[in-house]
Structure 1
C-alpha cells in the first residue's frame, strides 16, 4: 500500500506575524496562539500600557521575539510608524484585526466624517498594509494575509451601516487580493460570531442572540485564534480567497 505523507503542520516556526488590534480580546488571543505555535510577532494597538502588558506576557510564556508598535493605524502618522517598524525585518503573516464600529446610527444620520473614520481603520489600513507587504512576501516566495470580518458585513445589522459596509468591502478586497497574490501569497477572511474575553455574554444584546446560536453560548477568543493558526499554517496551503466562519453555527 502506498505510504501517505504526514499530516500538514499547524506550526508557525521561523515566521514573523504582524497583528493589528492585538492588545485585547481576539487580537490578543491570536497573538498568543501564534507565539505558542512558534511565530515571532509585531503587535500593534493604540493603548501602549495594555499592549506592553500583552507583549511582556507573551515573551515570558513563549520566548519568541515580540516587537510593539503603540499607534492608531487609522492615522497617516500611525500607519507610517508601523511601516517603519517593518523595515526592521520581514513579515510573513499579516492579520488585519483592528476595527471600530463607529457607534450605532442610521445611514441617514451617519455623516461623512463617521464614514471616513470607520473606513480608515477597517478598510484603508488593511489595504495599505497589504500593499506594503505583498511585494516582500512575493519576493520571499510565500506569505499569508488574514482579514477579520463580521457578520454585519454579510447581512445588514440595524444601525451599524458604516461598520457593516466597511466589512463587506473588506471581504471583497480579500477576494481580489487572493486572486492577484496567488499562487505565492494566500489571502483569506475569518469571521467570528459573538465573542467575549471571558466567554460569557457582555450585555442584553448578547443574551438575546444566544437563542439563535446552536452551540448555545458566546465564543471565546482562543476559539477564533485556533482558526487563525490554521489559516496561517501549512495545513491551509491550498486555501485562499475563502471566508472561514466561526460562530457556533448561527445562521446570519
Structure 2
C-alpha cells in the first residue's frame, strides 16, 4: 500500500501540518522545462517505471503459477479486464504519486519490490484456490462484483492522490497544510482503502473465499501497522490539529473503522 505520510518538515514556530511534495507529474513538467536541473527526479522516475514493469511481470508469473497454465486469459474476460485495468492503475499511480524517495537506487528498488511480495501471493493464491480446490469459474455476478470493486478502488486511490496534490499546490515546507477535504473528509487513509479494494476485488474475480478472508486479515494487519507508524509521525509534526482531525474522521471505513 502506498504511503500517505507527508515528509516535509514543519516550521518550528507552528503546528500546522506538513505540505506535500509536488506530484510526479508536476516534477516531470519542471524537469522537461529545465533539462539538466532534475537529475535525481528523472533517475527516481526511471526506478519507478522499472519497479512497476517488474511488478506487473511478476503478477503475470504469479497468476500463471497459481493456475498451472499460461494460455488462459482469452477464455476468462473478467481476468483479462481486471489485469488491463490494474496495469493502468499502477502506471497512473506512478505518475500522480508524490513520495519520491531519497534512498540509494538499488536499496530503494529492492525494498519496494520486497514490500509487494504479499500482494504477489494474493495474485497467485486466488487462481490456485479456484483451479485446484473448486474447479470451473466463479459465478458471473461474483466476477462482475470483483471488477466493480477494482474500479471503485482505483477511483478512490488515484482520486485521493490527485486531491492531495491539488489541495497542497502552491504550498511550501515553510507553509504546510493538512488536507481534510475531498476523500480525506471521510477517511484519513483513502489511498490505503482504495488499494485494498483493488486487491480484494482480485479474490472475487476468481471466487476464492479462503484467499479473500486471508486478504482481509493480512491487509488489516499491514494497514494497522502502517497507519500507526504514519499517524504517530503526523501527531508529532502537527500536534492538536491532527489529533482533532483523527478524532473526527475514521481511518479506512466511514462509521466502522
TM over 0.5: no
Task: State the structure with bigger RCO (CA 8 A, min sep 6), 1 or 2.
Answer: 2
Higher helix share: 2
Instruction: Give the greater-gyration-radius structure (CA).
Output: 2
- Normalised by the shorter chain, which TM-score bucket? under 0.3
> TM-score normalized by structure 1?
0.26
Higher strand share: 1
> TM-score normalized by structure 2?
0.25
